Amino acid sequence: MIDQEATNPKPAKQLLVLTDHECNTKATQLLQHEGYKVQLNDYLQFEVELLDKLQVDAILVDLENPTIESVSICQTIRDRYNGPLLFLTAPTNEFIQLLGLEMGADDFLFKPQTEVFLLTKLRARLKRAEKTQLGRRKNIRLGELQINSSRREVYCSGKNIHLTDREFDLLWLLAKNACQIISRDEIHRSLYKREYNGYDRSIDIYISRIRQKIGDDPHNPRHLKTIRGAGYLLVENHA
């Protein structure tokens, strides 16, 4: 067992901020300070082709003067983009809000807005989008480890690894949540459809078997780590 977390750093999230006012907005400064990569554009000059060039994780439309015309940009965006789309605007009437939501906006936040609330909303939307995307994926690659859910196959360093159904279900759960600690309670709810009773050690056995089959040293695992008192963590590692 180990109690340290050894993960590969994830790349910074790419955000597109569309605005109708000063270029160096407070929202932009805040997002950059939090480590996001921000592409800033005048919403009046926005061209949908930009979305084909950028790997956009979320879009924030920052408006001082929300109008029917400005919120209609949602239709253009949704032609090419399915991720989080949030509006940060001066207080506006219900009709404009409803119109924006109908056209594809995920949320309206009104100024002045606290930094904590804006960041929390954004992180929640990004996390939900990431889980949705992972849930749709059929093939996940983590370094030398490759898992295909449709064929229920696992390869490690190009070698096919045979897992039982329960072992595969556990590994796939961890792969969908790679680089995140998954608690024993979460695993029991997913695999057994019930709460952890406090003494069932079957998960430990499955983890041990998976490690053995993928060639992970139980004392210094490269892929499947035990985080003492918290749960299990599947990380990317290369041979």
pLDDT digits (tens, 9 = 90+) for 99-126: 999 988 998 888 887 888 888 889 888 8
Cα–Cα distance measured from residue 59 to residue 174, given in angstroms and rounded to the nearest whole number? 29
DSSP assignment letter at 237: B
Residue 137 has pLDDT above 80, yes or no: no
pLDDT digits (tens, 9 = 90+) for 149-195: 888 899 998 899 999 989 999 999 999 888 889 999 999 988 888 88
C-beta separation of 103 from 39 below 8 A: no
Domain ranges of the chain: 14-135, 139-234
pLDDT digits (tens, 9 = 90+) for 198-230: 888 899 999 999 999 999 988 888 899 999 889
Q: Which fold has domain 139-234?
A: Arc Repressor Mutant, subunit A (1.10.10)
Q: Which pLDDT belongs to residue 95?
A: 92
Q: How many of the other CB atoms lie within 10 Å of CB of 79?
A: 10
The CATH superfamily label for domain 14-135 reads: Response regulator (3.40.50.2300)
